[in-house]
Structure 1
Amino acid sequence: MRRIILIIFIFSFLSLSFFQKNVFADFEKIEELKKTIEEKNQKIKSIQEEILRYQDEIEKKGKESKTLSGEISRLNLIIKKLNKDIDLTRGQIEAALLILERLEIEIEKTRGEIEKKNEIMKEFLREIYDLDSFSSVEILLGRESVSDFFDGLEEIKNLQEKMRLMVVELKQAKDNLEKEEMEKSRQKEELVNHQNKLSDKKIIQGDAKKDKEIVLKITKNKEKEYQKLLSEKEKEKQEILAEVDAVEEELRKLIDPASLPKSRPGVLGYPVASVAVTQGFGLTSFSQSSGAYFKSVHNGVDFRASMGTEVFSAEDGIVLETGNTDLSCPGGSYGKWILIKHENNLATLYAHLSLIKVNKGERVLRGRFIGYSGKTGYATGPHLHFTVYDSRTIRFGESSSGRCKFLPLGGYLNPLDYL
């Protein structure tokens, strides 16, 4: 009987000492990290709200009459917004590092818990094995009374129950360790993504500053020169659009509707996370009233997307080509663009990007991050232009006048039939 009591005492003491050591040793550090992470998240939320305010101001400026001072003001707002994007990403990196530090402590704590429980169980099993080496008759003969014998059996049952609970706790600890390890791996990936985005945002910010310098250099900070520049760009765009439209009208004749997906929502995914169509397909009120499009036809849809918004592939496919029309006809066409061919005979174009993050020939999955929105090419402001083609009609070439050296051309379809 005394031996059983001793086993229970050792078991209880080891369990209690483990609990005190592991539960309270790192508790303060973990709580301190949680508090710091929460403060960091509040700061991130505040920066996000500032970014939204800048986006609203940029959109308002875009609707005002085109003047040099208005354009410089808008470019300044874009640069300020991009500065906040960088602050946001830095904050996200700091938060991810804190979360990883917290997870490291929790993982070490859980590993210690598993190790200690294993030690207790080994000791416990050794003692139980020694008890099991005695027969019931030997145990009975060793007791002062029958009542004492049955009390001993009851204590053994209690020990077995404690053993069962220990096994359950050990399994739970191992499950927790697996979850913590998975979360750590996810956070590491998140950290790398944030670090990559920080580099991207700095590039986009640098390009925005260059855009402002170019405008000031060309116009010599004079309104008359700016209006002249706008007029020249508008004329050039109309000529390029006329050339493109002539080719695409012929390519549209090659479309085979019978072999295309049936019109229904979800054939393609939206290329941006926050969906707001700012201009639809075809004869839109803007395309007809603004004179921005040849024959007043818009060959895709425009999505609201501030400078540096992440753009995603609408479906699984292969990157057929990427390009930048600004290299040969600055401000005259699509700017930086990506064209992806899909297995359902559709192809999708993403235009006016600020940064391209995929390469020709690369296979992408639906929802894969492929680049950032911008205002390259002919764009009245930051947005994403999205065109859907019959992939079998796709051609690449220069405009007939030779102004734009490398353009995506094809028989275009209404994207809203598939989104």
Structure 2
Amino acid sequence: MLLSVLFAAALFGFGVFGLEAQAEDATTTPETRSAAEAAGETALPSDSEAATALRAKIDERNRAIDSLEKEIASYQVEIEKVGKETQSLSSTLRSLELERKKFLAEIKVTETKIANAANELERLAGNITLAEGTMKRYSRALREGLRRLYAEESETLLEALLAHPSLGAFWDEMATLERATEFIQSGLTDVKAVKETLVNKHTAVDKKKKELEGLRRELSDRKKIVEYNQKEKNKLLATTKNKEANFKRILNEKIALREAFEQELLEFESELKLQIDASRLPKTGSGVLAWPLDAVKITQRFGTTAFAAAHRGLYGGVGHNGVDLRASVGTKVKAALGGRVVGTGDTDTVCSGASYGKWVLVEHDNGLSTLYAHLSLIRAAAGEALVTGDTVGYSGNTGYSTGPHLHFTVYATQGVKIISKRSRVCNGTYTMPIADPKAYLNPLSYL
């Protein structure tokens, strides 16, 4: 009878469903296969044995990442110990070597994360393929079931009775019809669930692709930072001729240059008469800004700090115009709030060791602007739109810096601008943000 066939079809069509239970890591698409190959992986065939092997690789790499992160942490401890020593040629060289080892370990971590992300894409592709296959089976079973159900229901009651050998057989067939209808209704619910699963899997793939893209950019950045580290070491050895006396002389010259440059800058900024409407600024204590580093340790606050008072020449006698945050070279620096990158630059190209070094200025839509200085590498570009937490660059030791850290300044946007000005101290034209003294705000009032 047709209803018996219908019931069997329903059992076959809906009983095979088991999306997550069956070969979760099935097959790869050409796109994810290329991602895996780029990370040094080979695409795996569609079977549970391959899925298990894929998971084992990911787990093994995660263990390697844990081990590398412990190694990185131990290097960081040593770097901080050296940083507390009196600045000397030998301590600076030791710090550079420890930083190099740390950078290389960070590169290994990033490479391992790239390989894992590629394999995760493989796994998700397998899930999607499985879900799509299940959807097709369900759709076929539903179409067939509905077609047969319609054929049965088109019979008249008399035709249905005459088609059965007895009244009991007729009622058995009616019961079968009821069960088949229930299976079809259940199948419709399951099809909706499969569709939802597919949407979630595709969303996960898009997220993982963005993660993979970000990791590849980070890998490129970290390799550049290793090159920066080596250049700094070579420059130090060349200028000092590996002699402590030469290092001390150069350090004193750097301090004198910084003081002269700061005085020149102060004279210029004091002449600025920019209008600042305080009512356009956020309320202090509102916490509108996020910390630009994941791990925060303030090493110098805003204003007339003990260090600024003891070294008045370094800040033109007006105090520290931002906050300094401890950050070893290569630490990721993030936007404290969404906004537009007004400009970037490097004062060392004209006046080495005298000012901000590599810097990024970001303007926000709430009346504030933020500056990130002494970077080793700039990631953001002028005109780029950022969201809170985007990478603007990596911390460093460029410009006038007694050790690796992030200098973070907050301005009233109305009172700051980027200028290119000829310096009598450095005998060149530098480009950097300058501000009316009233425009410098205490960052801690907004963090």
Query: If the TM-score is normalised by the length of the shorter chain, which range does it land in?
Result: over 0.9
Q: Is the 2:261–2:425 Cα contact (8 Å) retained in structure 1?
A: no
Alpha-carbon deviations, 1:340-385, whole Å to 9, x = none? Answer: 2223222211101111122223333333322221111111222211
Percent identity between matched residues is 38
Moved more, 87-96 or 264-273: 264-273
Taking the aligned partners of 2:247 and 2:260, their CA distance within structure 1 comes to 20
- Name the CA shift for 1:299/1:109 in 2 (closer, same or farther; >3 Å): same
Partner residue, 2:41: none
State which of 207, 216, 224 in structure 2 corresponds to 1:195: 216
Taking the aligned partners of 2:310 and 2:138, their CA distance within structure 1 comes to 76
1:209 has 2:230 as partner: yes
- Name the CA shift for 1:355/1:246 in 2 (closer, same or farther; >3 Å): same
1:231 has 2:261 as partner: no
Alpha-carbon deviations, 1:309-365, whole Å to 9, x = none? Answer: 222222333222211011011111100001122232222111011111222233333
Taking the aligned partners of 2:290 and 2:196, their CA distance within structure 1 comes to 36
Residue identity opposite 2:424 in structure 1: S
Q: Is the 2:331–2:395 Cα contact (8 Å) retained in structure 1?
A: yes
Residue identity opposite 1:31 in structure 2: T
Residue identity opposite 1:185 in structure 2: D
State which of 330, 333, 350 in structure 1 corresponds to 2:352: 330
SS in 2 for 1:406: strand
By how many angstroms is 1:142 displaced?
Answer: 2.8
Residue pairs, 1:161-176, within 5 angstroms: 161-176=182-197
Partner residue, 1:134: 155
By how many angstroms is 1:17 displaced?
Answer: 5.9
Partner residue, 2:385: 363
By how many angstroms is 1:307 displaced?
Answer: 1.7
Q: State the Cα RMSD in Å.
A: 2.4
TM-score, normalization: structure 2? 0.87
Residue identity opposite 1:414 in structure 2: N
Residue identity opposite 1:416 in structure 2: L
Taking the aligned partners of 1:137 and 1:46, their CA distance within structure 2 comes to 78
Residue identity opposite 2:239 in structure 1: I
SS in 2 for 1:337: strand
By how many angstroms is 1:282 displaced?
Answer: 0.9
- Name the CA shift for 1:45/1:399 in 2 (closer, same or farther; >3 Å): farther
By how many angstroms is 1:399 displaced?
Answer: 6.8
Residue identity opposite 1:23 in structure 2: Q
1:354 has 2:353 as partner: no
Partner residue, 2:38: none
State which of 287, 298, 310 in structure 2 corresponds to 1:277: 298
Q: Is the 2:14–2:183 Cα contact (8 Å) retained in structure 1?
A: no
Q: Is the 2:257–2:425 Cα contact (8 Å) retained in structure 1?
A: no
More helix by share: 1
- Name the CA shift for 1:139/1:315 in 2 (closer, same or farther; >3 Å): same
Partner residue, 2:421: 398
By how many angstroms is 1:401 displaced?
Answer: 2.7
Moved more, 172-181 or 235-244: 235-244
- Name the CA shift for 1:48/1:252 in 2 (closer, same or farther; >3 Å): farther
Alpha-carbon deviations, 1:50-90, whole Å to 9, x = none? Answer: 22222221121111011111110001011111111211110
Residue identity opposite 2:22 in structure 1: V
SS in 2 for 1:239: helix
By how many angstroms is 1:255 displaced?
Answer: 4.1
By how many angstroms is 1:253 displaced?
Answer: 7.8
Partner residue, 2:284: 263
Taking the aligned partners of 2:416 and 2:186, their CA distance within structure 1 comes to 67
SS in 2 for 1:385: strand
By how many angstroms is 1:279 displaced?
Answer: 1.7
Aligned length: 418
By how many angstroms is 1:263 displaced?
Answer: 1.0
Taking the aligned partners of 1:372 and 1:282, their CA distance within structure 2 comes to 25
Residue identity opposite 2:194 in structure 1: A
1:11 has 2:10 as partner: yes
TM-score, normalization: structure 1? 0.92
By how many angstroms is 1:127 displaced?
Answer: 2.0
Partner residue, 1:312: 334
Residue identity opposite 1:116 in structure 2: R
Q: Is the 1:288–1:296 Cα contact (8 Å) retained in structure 2?
A: no
Partner residue, 2:323: 301
SS in 1 for 2:376: strand
Moved more, 259-268 or 65-74: 259-268
Taking the aligned partners of 1:286 and 1:60, their CA distance within structure 2 comes to 20
Taking the aligned partners of 1:17 and 1:344, their CA distance within structure 2 comes to 57
Gaps of 5+ in 2: 24-45
1:23 has 2:51 as partner: no
- Name the CA shift for 1:90/1:366 in 2 (closer, same or farther; >3 Å): same
1:408 has 2:408 as partner: no
Moved more, 143-152 or 117-126: 143-152
- Name the CA shift for 1:257/1:298 in 2 (closer, same or farther; >3 Å): same
- Name the CA shift for 1:252/1:55 in 2 (closer, same or farther; >3 Å): farther
